[in-house]
Structure 1
Amino acid sequence: MFLQALSVLGLLVTRSLSANSTYHNPMLPGFHPDPSCIFVPDWENTFFCASSSFLVFPGIPIHASRDLRSWKLISNALNRPEQLPGLNTAKRATSGIWAPTLRYRDGTFYLVTTLVYDDYPQNASNRFDNFVITTTNPYNSSAWSQPAHFNFSGYDTSPFWDDDGQVYVTGTHAWQIQPGIQAFTLDIETGSVGEIINIWNGTGGSSPEGPHIYRKDGYFYLMIAEGGTGSGHMATIARSQNILGPYDSNPHNPVLTAVNSTRYFQDVGHADLFQDGDDNWWAVALSVRQAPDGSYPMGRETTLTPVTWEEGQWPVFTNVTGHMNGWHLDNDLPVAGGEGSLVNSSEHLNFGANSSFPLELVHWRFPIDSSYVISPPGHNNTLQLTSSIANLTGSDGRSAESLGQTFIGHRQTHTCFTFSSTFDVTSVQAEEEEVGVTVFLDQLHHYDLGIVMLPNQTTNSSTLSPYFRVRGITTVPAFLSSDIAVAPVPAAWVSSHLTFEIRASNMTHYTLSVGPAGKQSQVMDIGFAPGLGLTWGFTGALLGVYATTNGATGQFQTYISDWKYEGLGQVIE
């Protein structure tokens, strides 16, 4: 009898252990905010996620996973300038693509999202451009369609298909004008919009937004974000037996938040719900990893948390932390298809002939294609950059530059990392011509290490000499635009290839260094940059290279080789 009881106990323990898995947050580290995820059995039981991209291009990254642990970038839904020309004219870093919702129905993937012109007046009818794009192959960027636009003066639009096939869209107006969640019918084929009805105003938190509708156990559940995407952020939920309401609020709201906590993961909110192949519920939400000094330069990231949702009851969410324990997850290989790499991969590019940019490399708005040439004649295994007149700040720190800004970068996806590229600097000849590396949040928040031609500061003459310069622009905590460090280039280095490097060995600061290519022992630290200066707005840090004349007419070419991004560690608690 004792042995039988022990056997039963062992079986229960085994089942308990097999029923739970551990995993780590963030699920998608770095600049991946406003997540929307789905599980698609038709596509080999694969999970797919979309996230916001604002003014970054290519935009709307699509990630896929079979086990919710290994996530691969498989396509960029916004990948052709003709899809959305307005992205190149939108002013302010908070403009661009806000909160795409990803859904799947009858063999087609649907993305519903908004291009926001955030510098327009809050009540301007053309402030919000809502649209739908579709594909039958999410692993191919070019398969994503041209947008089908529809008229709604709001944002965070999300579709829901009722049992009869009718599409309902929820969204919100600018909260300063009309706070609350609206719903309307949409004919996806024609863009025709039905009557717009206010269905819920939330629980009283500011900025009710980010709505999604789910149907379960005879109820329509409406989950939204409240409190603004900052320290007051939270997810709340209500339900109704009629899709257009009235909706009754969950008495235990908020269902997910980090408000009034000291957890490392803060600003938790803007969530989406989905089920896995075992019918377990999960939620994704945005969050920031806030360092002791308040900085989070990697921006708003995607996190994953298990949800318990009993029949007829309200969903119960687990708080977001770095080490998570939740529903059982099978270990599976990464998806085989797609055009990109695992989200936490390191990267080494040699720019070989006939190669192309990997999916992970992005620009700020649309690039001038001729400014980026891989392996041009006479310069095999290099990337030729043609300088732009505008530097990374541009004419006013907010507007698109008609002649472009020569910059290409990679999201920072690790707390600790090293990013480096080798430059042929011999083409930098005229005053203020400059090439280098940057940790870039937006036009008003970036730190750059470059080699630049300046009047000789030792002799006070007009003779030009090359200098290393670390320059930063930020509005945090107060507006700053200054030279952080300027150092003369050693004479022996002037005609050599130089490797510029940005590294982070802690969660609060960046170190900017340079040295002769292949001679690590001679590397010099030129300056340091606080992550607090990149803690602003809606985006996250990009690491990249640039070339500029800093406002002077004319142009020059420089050649980049040996591009390396090496992830060294992730701080999760």
Structure 2
Amino acid sequence: MLPTYSMRAIVVALLLCASTALSNSNSTYLNPILPGFHPDPSCIFVPEVNHTFFCATSSFSLFPGIPIYASKDLAHWRLASHAISRPEQLPDLALTNGSTSGVWAPTIRYRDGTFYITSTLVFDDFRDNNASRFDNFIVHSKDPFSSSSWSDPVHFPFVGIDTSLFWDEDGATYFQGASPTWIKKGIYHSKIDIHTGALSGPLVNLWNGTGGNSPEGPHIYRKDGWYYLSIAEGGTGLPHEENVARSRSLDGPYGSYVGNPILTNANTSAYFQTVGHADIFQDAKGQWWAVALATRSGPEYTVYPMGRETILTPAVWPEGGWPRLSRVKGEMTAHQLPPTEIIERGEGQLIGERDIVDFTPGTSLPTHFLHWRAPVPENYEVSPPGHDHQLELRSSMLNLTGYDGNTTNHHGGLTFVARRQEDTLFTYSVDLEFSPDAEEQEAGVSIFLTQDHHYDLGLVLLPSANDSEALTMHLRAGGMSLRSTPETLIAMNSTWLGQAITLEIKAFNFTHYSLSAGPTQHAHLMQTIANIGRSLLYH
């Protein structure tokens, strides 16, 4: 059974998405700058690389992992590369269990011609007191525009998450990380050899935060004779916030800012909520900016299909003083943005570009297409012989309901290819040719959050209602959720058999998706098979 897809995704409406539109004054922009699932951002400005900004975000179980975006003007962002693009870089990613496991909270930094990323491979199903729950590592590259240039990981022994690198004025390298509550709550650091992962000296407790839950996401900045330590607190839900402390000594003690939090939308009616996990940087003019994660959920916090996204906010950091970050909104007015310039380098497309994919012969899958853990390459073939401009997918025994990595690590893999939802309103469609030869063989499309939260529409071979010995093609809609999911099963119209079928997902308002199907060559025959509320995927 070899289903063949001709895939296209078209953004039909935009709402507070990463926009290429700027005001004439070049000081107004729209959030999020990285729409769709782009949590835990870390960004830097690198004058040595043609005055370019770079950002990295978490990827959890998605593969390739740790996407890196580049921009010249803070408004137009292109997918530059992925820091994790080879399964052998993190083979244990295939063994992680649970939807919240995987690669968490990278920090990107630049030093002496080399880019470094620290991150943590988390086994979130392990018991809290299992030190093997956290695998911290460093990868490096001299070319952030090439996925193949990123090194194999150097692992280092820290029981915790959200690690970050800092170079002191004497050139010594330190990492900072968040220790879990069950060990010794707080932010710790130690000197590290970034080439071997060896730590020298004890872990030093820098700060335990202001008293909020989950102090994490630490970054140290050296400015005006002070060491500033910025951290997130409150967890990544509605109480999320960013706080800062400072010290004259790298090892502390760190004194908390009386004006904390420096960034939050907690206890407001703002559309952007859960704001926190920030990183602060300067542009070529010395102006300060910060990125953070946020959800487009409002205080109700029930419908946010794009998940945690990356926002940009202007900052002010006076000499000898404390950083002050502007409250996050959809439309932001800032100090002068860099001159408008669309970056050309990078392996992927610009954020916000329309997706019309025709699988040109000689090409590969677009770099912004994703898999759930590492794929089996043989299951995907672009423009196979006799099928130009099509993607051939070889079926797998596994389906989307496999919850853990021990299941999805089946030798045949999980045949699944996806892209992030970046916009509130959109239309996504696939033209599918599918010739199954056994009962329950199925191919289709999915609105996918995690392995236990998704809703699907597929073509499936099942016994006929009139003759249980005969197998006929059906359209089946259904899924998995903590709530009851509507299921629809319809025998396919006999006039549709033997031809390509278009499957369509449309976000037609702020709260609902529709799933439709019809013969590709007869668009007027499209039928809506199911309408579901977006909250179904969250509760």
TM-score, L = length of structure 2: 0.93
**Aligned-partner residue type, residue 401 of structure 2:** T
TM-fit CA distance, 1:429: 2.9
TM-fit CA distance, 1:244: 1.0
Q: Which residue of 2 aligns with 1:466?
A: 473
**Is structure 2 residue 234 aligned with structure 1 residue 231?**
no
**Is structure 2 residue 227 aligned with structure 1 residue 220?**
yes
Contact 1:395–1:401 (Cα < 8 Å) also in 2: no
Contact 1:257–1:268 (Cα < 8 Å) also in 2: yes
**Is structure 2 residue 157 aligned with structure 1 residue 151?**
yes
**Aligned-partner residue type, residue 57 of structure 1:** F
2:142 to 136, 144, 147: 136
Contact 2:59–2:102 (Cα < 8 Å) also in 1: yes
The residue correspondences of 1:71-220 to structure 2 (distance < 5 A) are 71-194=77-200, 195-220=202-227
Whole-Å separation in 2 of the counterparts to 1:62 and 1:512: 32
Residues 302-330 of structure 1 show CA distances to partners (whole Å, capped at 9, x for unaligned) of 00000111111111111000010011013
Whole-Å separation in 1 of the counterparts to 2:24 and 2:492: 60
TM-fit CA distance, 1:166: 0.6
Residues 239-283 of structure 1 show CA distances to partners (whole Å, capped at 9, x for unaligned) of 001111100001111111111011000000000000001101100
Q: Which residue of 1 aligns with 2:272?
A: 265
Q: Which runs of 5+ in 1 are unaligned?
A: 1-16, 537-573
Whole-Å separation in 2 of the counterparts to 1:105 and 1:399: 40
The residue correspondences of 1:30-69 to structure 2 (distance < 5 A) are 30-69=36-75
Residues 348-375 of structure 1 show CA distances to partners (whole Å, capped at 9, x for unaligned) of 1222221111110110001111111112
Whole-Å separation in 1 of the counterparts to 2:472 and 2:57: 45
**Aligned-partner residue type, residue 417 of structure 2:** I
1:424 to 420, 433, 440: 433
Contact 2:403–2:451 (Cα < 8 Å) also in 1: no
Q: Which residue of 1 aligns with 2:11?
A: none
Residues 183-241 of structure 1 show CA distances to partners (whole Å, capped at 9, x for unaligned) of 11101122111311111110010011000000111110000010001011110110001
The residue correspondences of 1:497-536 to structure 2 (distance < 5 A) are 497-535=500-538
Whole-Å separation in 1 of the counterparts to 2:395 and 2:335: 51
Q: Which residue of 1 aligns with 2:16?
A: none
Secondary structure in structure 1 of the residue aligned to 2:48: helix
TM-fit CA distance, 1:123: 1.8
**Is structure 2 residue 294 aligned with structure 1 residue 280?**
no
Secondary structure in structure 2 of the residue aligned to 1:408: coil
Bigger RCO of structures 1 and 2 (CA < 8 A, at least 6 apart): 2
Whole-Å separation in 2 of the counterparts to 1:219 and 1:148: 30
Whole-Å separation in 2 of the counterparts to 1:384 and 1:157: 40
Contact 2:513–2:533 (Cα < 8 Å) also in 1: yes
The residue correspondences of 1:151-550 to structure 2 (distance < 5 A) are 151-194=157-200, 195-290=202-297, 294-394=302-402, 399-402=407-410, 403-425=412-434, 427-457=435-465, 459=466, 461-475=468-482, 478=483, 480=484, 482=485, 484-535=487-538
Residues 53-97 of structure 1 show CA distances to partners (whole Å, capped at 9, x for unaligned) of 001000100000011000000101110011110111111111111
CA RMSD in angstroms, aligned pairs only: 1.7
Q: Which runs of 5+ in 2 are unaligned?
A: 1-22
Whole-Å separation in 2 of the counterparts to 1:518 and 1:288: 39
Contact 1:394–1:401 (Cα < 8 Å) also in 2: no
The percentage of aligned residue pairs carrying the same residue is 49
Whole-Å separation in 2 of the counterparts to 1:529 and 1:416: 14
TM-score, L = length of structure 1: 0.87
TM-fit CA distance, 1:173: 1.7
